[in-house]
Homo-oligomer: A and B are copies of this chain.
Amino acid sequence: MSKTEVTLGIDIGGTNTAMAIVDNDGNILAKESIPTRAMDPAADLFKRLFEKFNHLYEPLKEKYYDLVGIGIGAPNANYYKGTIENPPNLNWGMVDVIGLVKEYYNLPIVVTNDANAAALGEMQFGVAKGMKNFVQITLGTGLGSGIIVNGELMYGADGFAGEMGHMTIVRDGRKCACGKRGCLETYVSATGIKRTAYEMLCDMTDKSGMREIPYNNLNAKKIYDAAISGDKVAQAAFKFTGRLLGQAMADVVALLSPEAFIVFGGLAKSGDLLLEPTSKHLENNLLRVFKGKIKILESGLPEGDAAVLGSAALIWNEIKQKN
């Protein structure tokens, strides 16, 4: 009986670290999540992670499944060096991830940032199957992006390409966590739309239930609910957010000529409320040669599994390239 190859996809987050054993078609055979414990050393996390993994893998091994590689998505991961460098929210400093993991399994191991992994996940298992040029955008607390060019993830000279969230969309605009001002993610993200909603509350005179909610309690979901129930201020916040996303996309198209943008994450689930103005302002700002050609698609991956599927896609992609 021939063995079925599987990979381990790991997604390291500030709070939890998820893992899944994934076959070549994107089927998840087993999955688990453990607390990351941000203040502990990275080595502790991998010790706990592989104890848990061995429990998951043992019964699969008996059924002739064979682990062939490990893919890891993490903030501030450097693909070229195999390191994670001063990740925000983790007390790690500089970590040689591949070295740490090799202590447990001496297999092909690849690490990249979570947004890049998500793009590969869409290409192998999601709505971007068959596409060779597209941009994946994850709308969470910030705006992450992964860019596929000629069927390959674009890492750039440094391994840090794909930071669409830090393009300047408003000169001298809002303060960003990165230290700059006016970055796209200060407008187009869950926290961005909240900042916009509060600006709109100041600017507009319309009644809004959001005027009863303290800043720290408002979130993208509440703005969405307000907009759906007719709140004009919330609707204006979505229109503004979509406009800036569309304008930024048009600049990206001028440079990259992608076939599509794939949007993912909480805010992306707002559907037409966000994507209708996005699409309109993308079209309005495109060069003639691109008009009517650029697709905006919602992610094809289940939200809970997308990160680990992306990490698994990362290592599947590497293994395929070597064969």
State the A residues within 8 Å of B (CB).
131-134, 147, 149-150, 152, 154-164, 166-168, 171, 178-180, 247, 250-252, 254-259, 285, 287-290, 293
Known contacts A156-B256, A161-B257, A255-B255; 19 further A-B pairs (Cβ under 8 A) = A132-B157, A133-B161, A147-B255, A149-B149, A149-B156, A154-B257, A157-B257, A157-B259, A158-B257, A160-B257, A160-B290, A163-B255, A163-B287, A166-B254, A167-B251, A168-B285, A171-B247, A178-B287, A252-B255
Instruction: List 14 A-B pairs, Cβ < 8 Å.
Output: A133-B156, A134-B157, A150-B150, A156-B258, A160-B287, A160-B289, A161-B256, A162-B255, A163-B287, A164-B254, A167-B254, A167-B255, A168-B247, A180-B287
Interface SS, A side = loop
The closest CB in chain B to the CB of A155 belongs to B257
Q: How far is the CB of A105 from chain B (nearest CB, A)?
A: 28
Q: How far is the CB of A260 from chain B (nearest CB, A)?
A: 8
Q: Which residues does chain B contribute within 8 Å of A156, judged by CB atoms?
A: 133, 149, 256-258
The closest CB in chain B to the CB of A171 belongs to B247
Q: How far is the CB of A75 from chain B (nearest CB, A)?
A: 12
Report the copy number of this chain in the oligomer: 2
Q: How far is the CB of A120 from chain B (nearest CB, A)?
A: 15
Q: Which residues does chain B contribute within 8 Å of A256, judged by CB atoms?
A: 154, 156, 161, 255
A156 CA / B258 CA spacing, docked (Å): 6
Q: How far is the CB of A22 from chain B (nearest CB, A)?
A: 26
Q: How far is the CB of A184 from chain B (nearest CB, A)?
A: 9
Residue in B159, B161, B179, B290 whose CB lies within 8 Å of A255: B161
A152 CA / B154 CA spacing, docked (Å): 11
A289 CA / B83 CA spacing, docked (Å): 14
Q: How far is the CB of A49 from chain B (nearest CB, A)?
A: 27
The closest CB in chain B to the CB of A162 belongs to B255
Q: How far is the CB of A8 from chain B (nearest CB, A)?
A: 27
Q: Which residues does chain B contribute within 8 Å of A288, judged by CB atoms?
A: 178-179
A247 CA / B134 CA spacing, docked (Å): 24
Q: Which residues does chain B contribute within 8 Å of A167, judged by CB atoms?
A: 251, 254-255
B152 touches A150 (CB 8 A): yes
Residue in B149, B163, B179, B289 whose CB lies within 8 Å of A154: B149
Q: Which residues does chain B contribute within 8 Å of A289, judged by CB atoms?
A: 158, 160
Q: How far is the CB of A76 from chain B (nearest CB, A)?
A: 8
A255 touches B164 (CB 8 A): yes
Q: Which residues does chain B contribute within 8 Å of A179, judged by CB atoms?
A: 288
Q: How far is the CB of A108 from chain B (nearest CB, A)?
A: 20
Q: How far is the CB of A156 from chain B (nearest CB, A)?
A: 2
The closest CB in chain B to the CB of A168 belongs to B251
Indicate the member of A133, A157, A250, A288 with the most B CB atoms within 10 Å: A157
Q: How far is the CB of A46 from chain B (nearest CB, A)?
A: 25
Residue in B131, B154, B287, B293 whose CB lies within 8 Å of A166: B287
The closest CB in chain B to the CB of A153 belongs to B150
A159 touches B257 (CB 8 A): yes
Q: Which residues does chain B contribute within 8 Å of A157, judged by CB atoms?
A: 131-134, 257-259, 293
